A and B are shown apart, each in its own frame.
Chain A
Amino acid sequence: MNLHQAEFNLSPELTRLFSVFVLLGVAVMLVGLGMAPERVWPSLLLVSYFVLGMGLAAVVFIALQYVTNGAWGVAIRRVPEAMTVFILAGALGLAVVFLAHRSLYSWTAAAHDAGNTAAWFKRFWLTWPFFLARAVVYLLVWIAFARAIARNSQLQDRDGDVAYTHRNARLSALFLVVFGITLWLASYDWLMSLEPEWFSTIFGMYSFSGLFASGIAAIIIFAVALQKLGPLEGILREDHLHDLGKLLFAFSTFWAYIWFCQYMLIWYTDIPEETGYFVKRMQGTWRPLFLLNFMLNWTVPFLALLPRATKRTPSLLVKVAVIVLLGRWLDLYLIILPPFMGHKPSFGAWEFGLMLGAIGASALLFFRALRRAAPVPMRDPWLSDSLHHHQ
């Protein structure tokens, strides 16, 4: 193991594989835009938001570590740092959707909710230029924070100045505040307004819970991959995995809690303007998916991660993480697609192609971003604590 090895190259086979994924994805998307645009546009929104979310979760993960002085994660911090590239990638996907197909949002059609005088605020909030301006602000703010935090961490590699740690702790606290507000509003804008008549105050929190759980799952997968491929060999220990596993367990359960709170309250009060959302998602063939969503995101990970052994065995933990990522995809599918698909959900080449493309692109981007710095933040003052981290 050579810590000074700044360059890590993905093997040509894997590079080729992921490139094929990307090409397939792009090809499917282009064909699909001609043949089935009503399915490809929402799917593109889905994968873009998915990828963006992993990037944001990575920044939140780093920020939480700085704010809480959580030393244990320092040794693997370059993984989430590299994952921040996903914010840019997701932003690009969203930009394509917003600029090329704004009619995805039904409220862009004229005369939306015209008869309702109480909807003046909604009409003002959901106007296209304002919507775009907000999107630009959210994305720029996230990118700026992600870059600043990652940059400080990388600069610290040169001289080991503790000032970078303090600076990042302050930046992280600020980021968490800004992130709370922007993610809440962004999830209202991009997801909730797909059905503009529906609203749920917990939606921002719901959106965060899934986003963070999937981010932890992605960190686990990438960290274990780097352990197998070399850069984190001998650095990523069982104890780190155990902690990541516990986090996955906790946030998967947090997701279930938020999910249940939203469902239970809407089920219980049975107010027509709210229940419409769930009626659409529980009718006909949607119902099994609705239940599967809860299984993939909570039941399976919860039961699988209860024993200590799962959290400490890389191969098992990765399997659980993959299930959580699938669950995340399904969760977003159930948020985004029902208004466009009517009574029957469909899954075919279009959805699968975009998924494949997103996987390939994420992997290529991640490993590329990883090369920007040493695979371990070598002169972080907490590094030795993290390397000898004990349960």
Chain B
Amino acid sequence: MSRRLLLGVFGKEQDILGVTSAARKSGYKIVDVYAPYAVHGLDHAMGLGPSRLPRVCFALGLFGAAVKVWFEFWTTAQDWPINVGGKPWNSLPAFVPVTFEVMVLFAGLSTVFAFFYVSGLWPGKKAAIVDPHVTNDQFILVLEQSDAAFDISRVKRLFEAFNVLRIEERLAEEAR
């Protein structure tokens, strides 16, 4: 199935912010916005909820720390206890440093891999580039012409109010 998409190309940060929030308020379906950098506040304009990646970070960090502290206890106090410097078998204060490092390692790597996974990024992936300018200096708002109510001339007027540089219509195959 293919979708009819309408692309508005903008040159300024304030324009893309303005047009995105106006389009959302008018009820148009925003497919995506492309920007050369992380524009502050665009997530609110697009109506995106906060990312759930912090939960991955917290959970995996906790998991890593728990596993590590158990492992240190098991190796040092249970599996083969060795008296080093008269320290107790369960030397909890001395286990803290490595536990901390492993926690950070787990939390950090899992968050990054989770991010790659949910965003569909992998080495060698063929990028779906809307326009080469979006990694340089232009912002593109992509709307879906979802139903009959989609009045293209009204959208064009909206775009023009925000100094649109170019408007394009495209057909997109249903794909990610």
Contacts and interface: CB of A to CB of B under 8 A. Distances in A.
Tell me, yes or no, whether A and B come into direct contact in the complex with CB atoms closer than 8 A: yes
Interface of A: 260, 263-264, 267-268, 270, 306
B115 interface: no
B42 to A, nearest CB: 14
8 contacts: A260-B93, A264-B93, A264-B96, A267-B93, A268-B87, A268-B93, A270-B86, A306-B58
B171 interface: no
A263 B58 contact: no
Interface residues of B, number: 6
Contacts of A264: 93-94, 96
Nearest to B87: A268
B85 to A, nearest CB: 9
Nearest to B41: A390
A151 to B, nearest CB: 37
Q: Which of B58, B86, B93, B96 has the most CB of A within 10 A?
A: B93
A306 B55 CA distance: 11
A267 B86 CA distance: 12
Nearest to A307: B54
A246 to B, nearest CB: 15
A72 to B, nearest CB: 15
Contacts of A267: 93
Contacts of B93: 260, 263-264, 267-268
B117 to A, nearest CB: 23
A264 B96 CA distance: 9
Contacts of B58: 306
Contacts of A306: 58
A15 to B, nearest CB: 43
Interface class of chain A by DSSP? helix
Contact of A260 (B86, B87, B96): B96
A267 B87 CA distance: 10
Contacts of A260: 93, 96
Contacts, number: 12
A306 to B, nearest CB: 7
B164 to A, nearest CB: 27
Contacts of A263: 93
Nearest to A308: B50
A260 B94 CA distance: 11
Contacts of B96: 260, 264
Contacts of A270: 86
Interface string B147-167: 000000000000000000000
B54 to A, nearest CB: 9
The 10 closest A-B pairs by CB, nearest first: A264-B93, A267-B93, A268-B94, A263-B93, A268-B93, A260-B96, A264-B96, A306-B58, A264-B94, A270-B86
Interface in B90-127: 93-94, 96
A192 B94 CA distance: 26
A179 to B, nearest CB: 30
B152 to A, nearest CB: 35
Contacts of A268: 87, 93-94
B39 to A, nearest CB: 14
Interface in B66-104: 86-87, 93-94, 96
A306 B59 CA distance: 13
Nearest to B97: A264
A260 B87 CA distance: 18
A268 B58 CA distance: 30
A167 B94 CA distance: 48
A306 B57 CA distance: 12
A147 B170 CA distance: 67
A178 B94 CA distance: 36
Contacts of B87: 268
Interface string B42-59: 000000000000000010
Interface string B20-39: 00000000000000000000
B7 to A, nearest CB: 30
A311 to B, nearest CB: 14
A362 to B, nearest CB: 36
Nearest to B88: A267
B19 to A, nearest CB: 21
A267 B92 CA distance: 11
A268 B96 CA distance: 12
A239 to B, nearest CB: 13
A22 B93 CA distance: 42
Nearest to A306: B58
A264 B95 CA distance: 10
B134 to A, nearest CB: 25
Given A263-B93, A264-B93, A264-B96, 5 more contacts: A260-B93, A260-B96, A264-B94, A268-B93, A270-B86
A200 B93 CA distance: 18
A352 B71 CA distance: 44
A127 B47 CA distance: 68
B86 to A, nearest CB: 8
A260 B96 CA distance: 10
B13 to A, nearest CB: 15
A270 B58 CA distance: 35
